[in-house]
Amino acid sequence: MLDVLLASILTGAVRSGVSVLYATLGEIISERAGVVNLGVEGCMLMGACAGFVVEAITGNALLAIAAAAVAGGSLALIHAFLSITRGANQLASGLATMFFGLGLTGLLGAPYVKANITGLNTVSIPLLGDLPFVGPILFRHDLLTYLAMLLAPALWLMLTRTRWGLAIRAVGERPTVAFAAGLSPARVQYSAVIVGGMLAGLGGAQLSLAYTHTWVEGMTAGRGFIAVALVIFSMWDPLKALVGAGLFGGAVAFQFQLQSLGVPISPFILDMFPYVLTLLVLLVWGQTGKRAMPEGLKSVLAGGSQNPIAAGPVALRSATSAAE
Amino acid sequence: MIIATPAASPLLDRVLDHAIMRMLVSLLIAGTLFAAILLLLGTNPLDAYAAIFRGSLGDSYGWSEILVKVVPFILCAIAAALPAQLGMINVGAEGQLQIGALTATMAALAFSGLAAPVLLPIVIVAGFLGGALWGGVAGALRSGPGLNEAISTLLLNYVALRIVDSFTHGLLKDPASFNWPFSPPFVDAARLPTFGDSRAHAGLLLALAAIGIVWLLLNRTRWGYEMRVVGGNPEAARRSGLRVGRYLLIGMLLGGGFAGLAGMIEVSAVNGRLQPGIGVGFGYVGFLASWLAGSRPFAIIPMATLLAIIAVGGEVLQISAKIPSSSVNVLMALILFAVLATRTLRLSGRLHRA
């Protein structure tokens, strides 16, 4: 009995955690380059809506997934333009981006609210899916879930072992030094923010295409903000993001289990649990997490939030010469 | 940060130097972009703008609706603007409003036997305290363990909504509501009076008084001065002996209180009972208003009014052109985009603070 319960909670944790994992991974890339994007919530909604609408029209799941990534990336592009090129306050720009995504998806998705889709169904991996206990937990999921599991280590390799990863980290830590080393910080930040938005879009698509098979306005319900919190918990490390997203997913699955067991607690109170747990996790591990914070983010999260790169090469040049 | 950009057009810059001109330029940009989106959706933007204008500023009903909407926008803007003086980002007016509405409802139901002159102040204070409590949670988490308040307030918004849901579906559910998640209706003595037979109500006076009080607090008291010192340079403030953590906490308590007051007004003056969905989105609009106003108390009034006109016009648009109400969010976001994009816009080669 207990192992059945545990297995179903763990399976549920994977299923509910995947969308947040995508968003967390995307936000990690963006923040490693020095840009906080509170618009991830909006990027997720864009992905959820675009994926659902394209699936409803074409019935082609791969096209739907591609559309979700493009939609998330496009919204992130707005945030990139405002915070990198125009030097806007990152938090305000991110919130405006979130608001825009919420409104636009509400507008464009309205005719599709009651549409039926096939979406992404469970594909059991041969052999692995038949393993006792772990099989159902890890290897009987949808395509986007498998992709997410592979993505976390892949992004870790990308950040630590590739030129692009190095450039992202250099720009996030010391933009002036990166500039002096011949990198274009703005270009690197743009690429990181857009890729981050595309990943959040995929997370949204997992939510609408695989997890719920529905589209409802505002259906991400704060998962993007939870991802921003989990980035701190993950210490900006894609591998630790697996743990963070797993915790969130576990909390969701746990409260669903309690509800289905008929525990006499208001379902609304149970529904708070993932949010409260995220806050508690931040409270307990947030301080250790902050020590890993990319240098370029410190001014943003301390309330200043001006992107040093925003001013463009001229300011950077004067900053580098001042540093000499 | 001092930034130099290459020389181009000093004339345009002089135009952009004026806050009002800058705002008008931003509105023009946002309005054009929104028109483009409407066109793509197959709606004639001219008809839509005419509908927005007629529905909001065109008749007395529209005017009274604007006066109803502007009240929570102003109070939620204060909720963002006060902590902003301390360098804090309160995006939690949304949740603080919810908790304020909840505690105000509890007080209104618990003391329903009292006469209006006693009961109303109790309900007002209860709403303020509820919001202050919820803001204070984020404030305490910031001043103690150093948890970033932008993130904590965003998460607490979702928690607050569920707390209200659990009460309207549970302890506060009206037995006579046929299973709807409504609280029992307020007695008349717990309801803020309206002006004549319009829907505009005395909450407007509370909101305007709040603006005055906040301005006095910030500009005419030692405490307000110290707040700005903390906001300007927390390290220097700490060295000069100010207890920074306490200011951060009090800033969030007060800010949350004003959002809670907005919640009290929504249940007491507008709705007459607590139900899910009251005031949803007002907190975020208030944040936008505060941002557009540069967190200056008196600048909040015109900005909140502008957003109230858009919100009321958007409701009309929803009915007349069958465009979902979320189009309002799109237009508001576009305005903020335009303001953010033009705020640091400089075409000539002068030094400026970004």
CA angle at A284 for the pair A281 and A285, rounded to the nearest 5° = 80
Helices and strands, number each (H, E), in chain B: 14, 2
CB of B88 within 8 Å of a chain A CB? The answer is yes
Give the pair of three-digit tokens for residue A212: 């719920």
Q: Does residue B286 have a pLDDT over 50?
A: yes
A275 chain-B contacts, CB cut-off 8 A:
155-156, 158-159
B151-183 CB burial, b ≥16 within 10 A, e <16: bbbbbbbbbbbbbbbbbbbeebbbeeeeeebbb
Chain A interface test: which of B25, B34, B327, B336 (most A C-beta within 10 Å): B336
Taking only the tens place, the pLDDT of each residue in B216-245 is: 999 999 988 988 888 888 888 888 888 889
Cα distances from B181 to residues A302, B99, B100, B157, in angstroms, run 41, 16, 18, 20
How far is the C-alpha of A64 from the C-alpha of A58, rounded, in Å? 8
pLDDT higher than 80, residue A302: no
> B319: how many CB neighbours lie within 10 A of its CB?
11
Write the residue in B6, B162, B334 that is nearest to A271 by C-beta.
B162
Q: Compare B125 and A86 and report the one with higher pLDDT.
A: B125
Strands A140-141 and B2-4: unpaired
Q: Tell if the CB–CB gap between B343 and A110 is shorter than 8 Å.
A: no
pLDDT the model gives residue B2:
44
The predicted-structure confidence for A181-224, as pLDDT tens digits, reads as follows 788 889 999 999 999 999 999 999 999 998 888 999 999 999 99
pLDDT tens, B44-102?
A: 888 888 888 888 888 888 899 999 999 999 999 999 999 999 989 999 999 999 999 99
Residues in chain B: 354
Q: Å from A269 to nearest chain B CA?
A: 6
Model pTM score: 0.89
* d(CA B214, nearest CA chain A) in Å: 21
Q: CA A143, CA A159: separation in Å to the nearest integer? A: 24
Measured between alpha carbons, how far is B152 from B149 in angstroms, rounded to an integer? 5
**Confidence check: pLDDT of A314 > 80:** no
Mutation target to probe the B interface, by most B beta carbons within 10 A, among A220, A268, A277, A316 is A268
Q: What phi, psi does A221 have (nearest 5°)?
A: 45, 45
Q: Please tell me the distance in Å from A300's CA to the nearest CA on chain B.
A: 11
